[in-house]
Amino acid sequence: MKFKTLMMLALIIFSANSLVFASPTLSKNSTGRDVLTLQKKLYLIGYNITEFDGVYGAETEKAVSAFQKDQKLTVTGVVTNATWRVLKKTPPVAGRKLSDIPVTSSASTNKSAVYVDTTRTGGAVTAPYGKPFITAAQGAKIVATGKNYIGVPYVFGGTTPSGFDCSGFLQYVFKQHGINIPRLADEQYKLGKSVSPSQLEPGDLVFFSTYEPGPSHCGIYVGGGNFMHASSSKGIRIDALSNEYWRPRFLGAKKIIG
């Protein structure tokens, strides 16, 4: 009994430590969903955050440093395990709530990238500012560009050919064709008009709900029922939408403007 008890205690301690060390280290120029989570948390606990874009810029670094100073932590401007632990325990200040947080992105001021889907309100579906949706020729070129990076490894927060995450890959590929889209998957999901799987054309964006509700993974439709994406286990690759893993997690697809 004593041996089993000791084993159970060791397992609990190991699991707890694993959870602690799973917290990502974030610093200047980090990007991704964890940075957005950090920005929201800093805002809720009373710090001066106005940028909720998933990009660890000067404002976020300044707020982190202020938090570390207030909590008598070593002031580095870098979020490590020690800072995460205290952040998670810090309650929100009165009057601040998530619903008050504005959603911003690197594309929010770029007219060529923003489109409100009027189909939900019964309006006519037209591209804004006289811009057409991407053509078949553009879509084919976007797919061809994406295929150049097949095999590039997955890197959390990655936005370059040295390593991509799913939304960083999409943003990078589209930028090669002069099309600016937001950095994060949930922001990319707000673009364009919704299309059904039967209407998909190469270059359209496809979205999936994986580790959390809502658009948490994305890819580029390449045709033939397949899509290209940054797999967390195998990097940039092509998979079938009918794949037993992806089919039940398919959330929707969007056509965006060029």
Task: Find all residues with CB under 8 Å of 131, minimum gap 6, and list them.
Answer: 111, 112, 257, 258
Helix or strand holding residue 163 (H, E): strand 163-164
Backbone angles phi, psi at 56, to 5 degrees: -80, 90
Choosing from 33, 41, 193, 217, the catalytic residue is 217
Query: Which residue, chain included where needed, has tokens 């189909």?
Result: 119
Q: Is 243 exposed, middle or buried (0-12, 13-18, 19+ CB in 10 A)?
A: middle
Q: Active site includes 177?
A: no
CB count, 10 Å around CB of 3?
Answer: 7
217 is catalytic: yes
Calculate the alpha carbon distances from 194 to 188, 189, 232, 252 in Å: 12, 9, 26, 7
Give the CA angle between residues 17, 19, 25 to the nearest 5°. Answer: 100
Find the catalytic residue in 166, 191, 200, 222: 166
Q: Name the active-site residue from 229, 230, 246, 258.
A: 229
Tell me, yes or no, if 166 is annotated catalytic.
Answer: yes
Measure the CA–CA gap between 80 and 204, rounded to whole angstroms.
Answer: 37
Q: Annotated catalytic sites, by residue?
A: 166, 217, 229
